[in-house]
Amino acid sequence: MTPAPDTLLRRLFDAAVGAAGAGAAVSRHLPAAPKGRTVVIGAGKAAAAMAASVEAHWQGPLTGLVVVPYNHGAPTRRIEVVEAAHPVPDAAGTRAAERIFEAVRGLSADDLVLALMSGGASALLALPAPGLALDDKRRVTKSLLRSGAAICEMNCVRKHLSAIKGGRLALAAAPASVVTLVISDVPGDDPSTVGSGPTIADPTTFADARAILAKHRIDLPPAVARHMDAGADETPKPGDARLGAARAVIIADARGALDAAAAAARAHGIDTIVLGDDIEGESREVAAAHAARVLGEKRAKPFVVISGGETTVTVRGNGRGGRNSEYLLALAAALDGARGVYALAADTDGIDGVEANAGAVVTPDTLARAKALGLDPAAHLADNDAFGFFEALGDLVTTGPTRTNVNDFRAILVT
């Protein structure tokens, strides 16, 4: 028996998140134990769950430290878990980055650094480059978050404001071997972009970062402007011999999550269209395109259209909401109450932007119910207040932290 549309959509989301779980992914990709020491370091929304899996499956002694966003911890015995702010860094992130940096210094070629990286690491490893202060990084981060910059653009800039990102942590660990296990939250799954790649060679440059800042018209603090203009101390590039003992493995990604959701849909007899796991662009523009695709689809019903990736929001209003709820508000407007069309969009980490919800749902009567409550969808969209809109309707999706992150999940069900 096919479940109700809202129940089915939630099952698809749960299947996607389950497929990206840190536990099994880590256990399948652990390297061999070294002759010498094993030091585990990590950062991101999945780092604590990844660390717990390492402890459960590692044969031999180890020590370590990982940093996660507040309320993303998990029980561990040998690997310390500390918490810091995300997406705008705080002093706790700076202290954690300093400790992680020191933990990998002075190792030998017989030692192993096992790095556990997932989305969110960029904000959590907040170690400013020499001459910069934490407040400088905070100001630039806030501006980038409001600008509509893509994640690859944001992380290019972050690498060039940091003393630890863009492969610098791997340099500090040399000559030890460095194995990085990556849960990817970025379109294209480039490990050097996930968490700004602290243990991975960086193909981007200061010139790239300057172009991004200019493109998005970011007003720079004086110290940052001087640092970017100087362009000194470039990040290590692919082929750098100093990183010869470093390698990275993607252990979970959006494609696997979407495949799991598609399989769950087919198990209920629902025809499935997967648009891709690397969709980017302004949330409301992506929503309009998806609405047109669904309304123009000629295949037999029921069917579901699934996609992943990471959309962006250029913030012009003063409301609340993340990219998934903004996508859904724009989608509801574009669908205009189309019969039999339901949708769910949510972030697989359980947090849409900085709010407590993972995302929200749209039903055929979303606009009618909104009108009955005196809600104006266009006004809420103009104020970037999708959270307030869906909260008033009781249509937020709340999961709490999932302790993984393969980015956006979107499903549109046509019955």
In order along its 415 residues, the chain shows pLDDT tens digits of: 789 999 999 999 999 999 999 988 999 999 999 999 999 999 999 999 999 999 999 999 999 999 999 999 999 999 999 999 999 999 999 999 999 999 999 999 999 999 999 999 999 999 999 999 999 999 999 999 999 999 999 999 999 999 999 999 999 999 999 999 999 999 999 999 999 999 999 999 999 999 999 999 999 999 999 999 999 999 999 999 999 999 999 999 999 999 999 999 999 999 999 999 999 999 999 999 999 999 999 999 999 999 999 999 999 999 999 999 999 999 999 999 999 999 999 999 999 988 999 999 999 999 999 999 999 999 999 999 999 999 999 999 999 999 999 999 999 999 9
- Sign of torsion, CA 62 65 66 71? positive
Across-strand partners of 411?
A: 306, 344
pLDDT at residue 325, as a whole number: 98
pLDDT at residue 2, as a whole number: 81
Could you tell me which of 378, 409, 410, 380 has the C-alpha nearest to residue 392? 380
Across-strand partners of 308?
A: 409
3-state SS string for 51-113: HHHHHHHCCCCCEEEEEEECCCCCCCCCEEEEEECCCCCCHHHHHHHHHHHHHCCCCCCCCEE
Contact of 313 with 272, CB cutoff 8 Å: no
pTM summary value: 0.94
User: Exposed/middle/buried for 123, CB within 10 Å: 0-12, 13-18, 19+?
Assistant: buried
The CA distance from 83 to 100, in Å, is: 13
> Which helix (DSSP H) or strand (DSSP E) does residue 389 occupy?
helix 386-393
* Half-sphere exposure at residue 221, Cβ-oriented, CA atoms within 13 angstroms: 17
pLDDT at residue 23, as a whole number: 87
In the chain, the domains with their CATH numbers are 5-15+255-414 (3.40.1480.10), 21-252 (3.40.50.10180)
* Half-sphere exposure at residue 158, Cβ-oriented, CA atoms within 13 angstroms: 35
Tell me the CA end-to-end span of the chain in Å, nearest whole number.
14
User: Exposed/middle/buried for 246, CB within 10 Å: 0-12, 13-18, 19+?
Assistant: buried
Question: Residue 102 contacts by C-beta under 8 Å, 6 or more apart in sequence?
Answer: none
Across-strand partners of 178?
A: 113, 246
